[in-house]
Structure 1
């Protein structure tokens, strides 16, 4: 058996077993990604409110945003240490304060008025999708392996697709 046929057969085996084993991770990443894309229509994320029109230099200071957010009597959102992230959305003139426990507060940039205090599970979904929920061991081992395997699957798939075409072209050339 020629080396190219052996390589083709090995490529098929590697492609099949790598794909089967890692399909669980591919599905998990795909499903969490799709939920992230459609989180507002699915009701998973709080819809972005619009604050009073103002320029960035009229924005209230960050200390005040933190003070307003933690004063909302939300469970598990009592101090700055409970804040996961604060986002400034200039297109809507809103600060979005996201807490570690899935609570969210939207604050008007210029007035400091609280526009929304609805739960927002997008932070949880983001941490699931990017692997931080499971810890660095997951991100740097499983996700790295998954990404590298996707590259391997792509190349083995290209080879399995291209090799028979190449063989047919060579056979047709010999006949001519």
Structure 2
């Protein structure tokens, strides 16, 4: 058996088994990614409100944003440590404060008025999707292995697709050369 045929057979085995084993991770990443893309129509995230139009220099200071968000009486929000992330959305002139407990507060950046305090599960989805929920050990081992395996699966798939085409083309060329 030639080296190219052996490489082809090895490529098929690697492709099949790594694809089967890692399909669980691929599916998990794909499902959480799709939920993130469609989070507003699915009701997973609170729709972004729009604050009063003003320049960023007129924005409420960050310490005031934190105190406003923390004072909303949300369940399991006791201190600044409960804040997961604060986002400033210049297009809407809004601060969006996301908490670890899937709560969100939207604050008008120029007035400090609270625009929304609805639940927002996008934080949970983001942490699932990027692996933060499981910790750095998951992010740097499983997600790295998953990403590298996706690259390996792509190349082995290209090879398995291209090798038979190449062999057929060579066989046709050899047959033409024999006819001449």
Asked whether 1:93 is paired with 2:90, we answer no
- Give 2:123's aligned residue: 123
SS at match of 2:76: coil
Cα separation, 2, equivalents of 1:11 and 1:90: 49
* 1:26-75 Cα shifts (integer Å, max 9, x gaps): 00000000000000000000000011111101101001000100010111
Cα separation, 1, equivalents of 2:45 and 2:157: 38
- Give 1:24's aligned residue: 24
Cα separation, 2, equivalents of 1:81 and 1:100: 9
- Give 1:155's aligned residue: 155
TM-score, with length taken from structure 2? 0.96
- Give 2:146's aligned residue: 146
Within a 5 Å distance, the mapping from 1:41-60 to structure 2 comes to 41-60=41-60
SS at match of 2:23: helix
* 1:5-34 Cα shifts (integer Å, max 9, x gaps): 111111101100110110000000000000
SS at match of 2:166: helix
Deviation at 1:91, TM superposition (A): 0.5
Cα separation, 2, equivalents of 1:53 and 1:67: 22
How many equivalent residue pairs?
176
Cα separation, 2, equivalents of 1:57 and 1:136: 37
Q: Which runs of 5+ in 1 are unaligned?
A: none
Asked whether 1:2 is paired with 2:2, we answer yes
Cα separation, 2, equivalents of 1:55 and 1:165: 60
Which aligned segments of 4 or more residues in structure 1 are displaced greater than 4 angstroms? none
* C-alpha RMSD of matched pairs (Å): 0.6
- Give 2:103's aligned residue: 103
- Give 2:84's aligned residue: 84
